[in-house]
Structure 1
Amino acid sequence: MDFFDLIHHHRSIRKYRPDPVPDDILWQALAAGPRASSSGNMQSYSIIVTRDRALREQLYEPHMAQDMVLDAPVLLTFCADFRRMRHWLRLSDAPDNFDNLMSFLIGAIDATLASQNVALAAEALGLGICYMGSTLANCDQIGRLLALPPGVVPVVGFSLGWPAEDPAPRDRLPLDGLVHFETYHDYSDADIAAIYAERERKGWQRYMGFPELRALIEEAGVTNLAQVYTTVKYTRESHLAFSATVRDYLRQQDFENSG
């Protein structure tokens, strides 16, 4: 597949064939990760490959009971990781400047860049992936199950396997609603209406097409897609709770030293 066709054909795969991913295919996809850009070329991330069924069963609940955790033969978890770098600094009698929020953000960006390289390589090899926001939201539980030591925090992750479905690519916001030239151009009411017009129509149709989601929407009494996002899917209470989880886990993992 042509590179640009690959980019524009991306879709999240939630149903997988049970066939394993051969080692050579897996390593070929993983090898794309280190070629991503990296702050200072520190490569402050690690990749956890989880194939073991019993461990995936333990990860099922922290990943919000998403079936692909069990159905896909592989889970990949990309972690911000300054533990390796800080160990090297100790051995080299160099000062440790990486026990703080800025360092976590650098590691998180590095991990995310690497993850997208691996995702694109996997799709080029015919595999399917689905990113899981639960990786960061429940980083403490996932970190415990993956035996992550201080200095390591799970940031992004996705299921990986051979697709058992071929969904159409999802709609995206129009490019002219995302790109700003020279400086930021703030949005008028009319701009917002135009940018979200297709999303409101297609997104509402999609959610109402799932019986379970439709029941939740009708029970909540919401009437538009924006309300679905903030009343049904991403409530203030859940975001505040996840924020507290991440903040506490960063402190536990030695990324909250303010001096």
Structure 2
Amino acid sequence: MMETILNHRSIRKYTSEKVSSEVLEEILNAGIRASTTGNMQVYSVVVTQDDSNKEKLAPCHFNQPMIKGAPVVLTFCADYNRFNKWCEQSNAKPGYDNFLSFVTGAIDALLVAQNVCIAAESKGLGICYLGTTTYTADKIIDVLNLPKGVVPVTTVTLGYPDESPELVDRLPLEGVVHYESYKDYSKEDIKKIYSEKEQLPENIGFVKENKKESLAQVFTDIRYKKQDNIVFSKILLDVLTKQGFMNNEE
């Protein structure tokens, strides 16, 4: 299992081989064994395998080719719809129409997603996370017919790899781990932590290609711009309101 985790690669190209229902069910069963707040399991997973449905999902993920190329697309959702109905049918009054509850459901969904990914990779499958899910949550809700109380949190494509990319760089352990309490970073610390990433040939190429002064500027000015973050934040906040997670009244 450690070897599986340490050799994780994002796979964006898949063979035409289908994922059997038996393998998929085994992977999903591993997913739902993840930790969950209060054992409430306030999440759902929507499995998309039909080509016409993947076609509908593709624009929600900026038409990244792996949506239509992967045999399986999994959308992980924070879901209080099911839990609320159970409470109401059991003469219990649910109080989960607030932001904290959404965060709880989102954490649950992400824990399940990571379990699914590790289980899939251990079976020889490839996966790729798509961060676009929260950008276009409103559109995904429509495509997947998600009722009130359900919000998509992340998407994972799944299939047998048709590529073997190199391992992607990660920051050194000392750059992300703090013992006992948080130790803030000095300028020298920051320089040391990011030096290897900045010196990678592909990253030097990104800087030149985008005509920027530094790799950091590629992130702030090209990949994850403030303007985009504001726009997508507004969309997500509107989604949370529409889906019933922004009630601040007692």
Asked whether the equivalents of residues 34 and 111 of structure 2 are also in contact (C-alpha less than 8 Å), the reply is yes
* Per-residue deviation, 1:19: 1.3
Give the Cα separation in 2 of the matches to 1:50 and 1:108. 20
Structure 2 equivalent of residue 223 of structure 1? 213
Give the Cα separation in 1 of the matches to 2:97 and 2:208. 45
Provide the secondary structure at the position in 2 that maps to 1:93: coil
- AA in 2 matched with 1:187: Y
The answer to whether the aligner puts 1:15 opposite 2:17 as a matched pair is no
Give the Cα separation in 2 of the matches to 1:83 and 1:249. 15
- AA in 1 matched with 2:108: D
The answer to whether the aligner puts 1:166 opposite 2:164 as a matched pair is yes
Farther-moved stretch of structure 1 (100-109 vs 56-65):
56-65
Which TM-score applies when normalising by structure 2? 0.97
Structure 2 equivalent of residue 145 of structure 1? 143
Structure 2 equivalent of residue 233 of structure 1? 223
Alignment of 1:164-203 (within 5 A): 164-202=162-200
Give the Cα separation in 1 of the matches to 2:51 and 2:179. 48
Structure 1 equivalent of residue 48 of structure 2? 50
Provide the secondary structure at the position in 1 that maps to 2:15: coil
* Per-residue deviation, 1:20: 1.0
* Per-residue deviation, 1:114: 0.4
Give the Cα separation in 2 of the matches to 1:141 and 1:207. 36
Structure 2 equivalent of residue 136 of structure 1? 134
State the Cα deviation string for residues 83-121 of structure 1 (Å, max 9, x = none): 111001110111111010000000000000000000000
Q: Percent identity?
A: 46
State the Cα deviation string for residues 189-239 of structure 1 (Å, max 9, x = none): 00000111111122x625737xxx975x1xxx3121100001110001110
Give the Cα separation in 1 of the matches to 2:199 and 2:30. 37
Give the Cα separation in 1 of the matches to 2:47 and 2:64. 18
Give the Cα separation in 1 of the matches to 2:197 and 2:62. 25
Asked whether the equivalents of residues 81 and 150 of structure 2 are also in contact (C-alpha less than 8 Å), the reply is yes
* Per-residue deviation, 1:168: 1.4
Structure 2 equivalent of residue 69 of structure 1? 67
- After the TM superposition, list the runs of 4 or more consecutive aligned residues in structure 1 that deviate by more than 6 angstroms: none
* Per-residue deviation, 1:34: 1.2
Give the Cα separation in 2 of the matches to 1:9 and 1:106. 29
Give the Cα separation in 2 of the matches to 1:96 and 1:205. 51
Which TM-score applies when normalising by structure 1? 0.93
* Per-residue deviation, 1:154: 0.3
Give the Cα separation in 1 of the matches to 2:208 and 2:139. 30
Distance 1:164 1:176, change over 3 A: same
1:89 to 75, 87, 91: 87
Cα RMSD, aligned residues only: 1.3
Give the Cα separation in 2 of the matches to 1:208 and 1:182. 38
List alignment gaps of at least 5 residues for structure 2. none
Asked whether the equivalents of residues 13 and 163 of structure 2 are also in contact (C-alpha less than 8 Å), the reply is yes
Give the Cα separation in 2 of the matches to 1:192 and 1:257. 40
The answer to whether the aligner puts 1:59 opposite 2:54 as a matched pair is no
Provide the secondary structure at the position in 2 that maps to 1:148: coil
List alignment gaps of at least 5 residues for structure 1. none
* Per-residue deviation, 1:64: 1.2
- AA in 2 matched with 1:58: K
Structure 1 equivalent of residue 25 of structure 2? 27
Provide the secondary structure at the position in 2 that maps to 1:35: coil
Structure 2 equivalent of residue 243 of structure 1? 233
Give the Cα separation in 1 of the matches to 2:204 and 2:226. 20
State the Cα deviation string for residues 54-102 of structure 1 (Å, max 9, x = none): 1111111110111100111110000000111100111011111101000
Structure 2 equivalent of residue 205 of structure 1? 202
